[in-house]
Amino acid sequence: MKKIFLLFVATAGLSLTLNQSLSAQEEKVANKLYYTEFGGPGLIMSANFDGRFKSNSNLGLGFRLGAGFGIKKFDEEEHGEVRRTLYAFPVGLNYVFGKQNSRTSFEVGGGVSFLHREVALFNYDVKQEGNLIGFASFMFRTTPINGGFSFRVGFTPIIGTAGDMFPMGALGLGYAF
């Protein structure tokens, strides 16, 4: 009788442990995001990876890494007007605000975008040349809790090396996992 009771307790304990681990796997929150962004610090278009530092949460402090490109006209005396591709590598920190287990959230962040060559960006009166531009991001995000299609849209002003601010918007489509 004692052996049957111990076997019953061991089986019940094992089943509860397995049930809890399966429940924990089912409740995993998608806190990583791969997306393509049009506009923003990647210039014309960029591929980006976004993640949260806190595991199993889609809110809070996180990071962004990307690679993008743009096209710039250059005036060259020998060849006339030439178009060249510019490559940008945005790196930043962001914080996502919202209700826990909600699809929608709001992101506030900032960072720098490394350019592969020194250029004068944007055709404004003041042109700042350099290989580094700053950016801020104010984005509305929809991300399914358990993963899937994600959408981002918002305002991402670019900050030049002299502190000049250039207004820019961004639209991102991607997949959360």
For the domain that residue 153 is a member of, what is the CATH number?
Answer: 2.40.160.20
> Is 49 in the same domain as 95?
yes
> Is 52 in the same domain as 91?
yes
> Is 52 in the same domain as 80?
yes
> Is 49 in the same domain as 85?
yes
pLDDT reported for residue 132:
85
Is 82's pLDDT higher than 90? no
Total of domains in the chain: 2
Of 4-18, 58-72, 136-150, 159-173, the one with minimum mean pLDDT is 4-18
Domain that holds residue 51: 31-176
pLDDT reported for residue 126:
40
**Alpha helices of 37-150 — where are they, by DSSP H?**
none
Mean pLDDT of 153-173: 89
> Is 156 in the same domain as 119?
yes
> Is 66 in the same domain as 146?
yes
Cβ neighbours of residue 142 closer than 8 Å, sequence gap 6 or more:
103, 104, 150, 151, 152
Quickly state the pLDDT bin for 160 (edges 50, 70, 90).
confident
Is 77's pLDDT higher than 80? no
Is 88's pLDDT higher than 50? yes
146: left (phi over 0), alpha (psi -120 to 50) or beta: alpha
Closest to 49 in 3D by CA, of 26, 32, 31, 62 = 32
80-97 and 60-76 beta bridge pairing? antiparallel
d(CA 113, CA 43): 9
> Is 53 in the same domain as 14?
no
> Is 14 in the same domain as 53?
no
Mean pLDDT of 124-151: 82
d(CA 134, CA 166): 10
> Is 52 in the same domain as 90?
yes
Closest to 175 in 3D by CA, of 152, 140, 150 = 150
Quickly state the pLDDT bin for 23 (edges 50, 70, 90).
very low
> Is 36 in the same domain as 22?
no
Length of the chain: 177
Q: What is the pTM of this model?
A: 0.75
CB atoms within 10 A of CB 143: 27
Mean pLDDT of 14-20: 52
Quickly state the pLDDT bin for 22 (edges 50, 70, 90).
very low
